[in-house]
Amino acid sequence: MTRAPLAIAVLLALGACGPLVQIGGNNEPPPSLLTLRASALGAPAQAIDPAKTLLIAQPSVPGALQTLRVPVTTTDTEVQYLKGASWVEQPSKLFQRLLVDTIGGAGGVLVLSERQSDVNAARKLTGQLVEFGLDVRGNRQVRVRYDALISGGNNQPVAARRFEATRPVVSEDGASVGAALNEAANEVAGQVAGWVAGG
């Protein structure tokens, strides 16, 4: 048997076994994905005092939130993940967008995108999304905690504050937990919006 027919025979045999690599993974896609949506959207500011401009950075997150899955705190030292529940994007991106929509729609502050590099914002909101998941250690509830920092010119610290909200959940399924997290995240975003507007 010459090399050419032998090579063709090998390729045909491999092709009969199916693809060696499946794009997108071997798991079935989830029936639905979770997201966050601002509960109150106002009209964004069109023209405003430059001193009231704000850049909102994507928050940093601990390792348990660097995923599309929903963390479940089971003990003080153990974290699991909620079965059958996934976000459309990582929580840090979803929460950043929620802050942009909530603060920008509240009025009095012009929120700038990180892509608008040619416009210098007077202030910058950074922070860490410390908790964003289900806690079953006592009363079953979701918890959202955001440690925020507003800095002014030359990145000089101006103010820091912690924001937190919880919501009870009746069932440990993706729909119930996702809805509760959306409510708690909106409460936190509303608190941040009031703090930013008053600063």
- pLDDT of 138 strictly over 50: yes
Q: Output the average pLDDT for the chain.
A: 84
Q: Is the pTM of this model over 0.75?
A: yes
Q: Could you give the percent of the chain with pLDDT greater than 90? A: 60
109 pLDDT band, cuts 50/70/90, is: confident
pLDDT of residue 43: 61
**Residue of 51 and 82 predicted with greater confidence:** 82
- Taking alpha carbons only, the member of 76, 83, 79 closest to residue 31 is 83
Question: Domains in the chain, please, with CATH?
Answer: 50-198 (3.40.50.10610)
User: Residue type at 19?
Assistant: P
With 0-12 / 13-18 / 19 or more C-beta atoms within 10 angstroms meaning exposed / middle / buried, residue 20 is: exposed
pLDDT of residue 107: 78
Q: pLDDT digits over 162-197, tens only?
A: 999 999 999 999 999 999 999 999 999 999 999 998
**Residue of 15 and 199 predicted with greater confidence:** 199
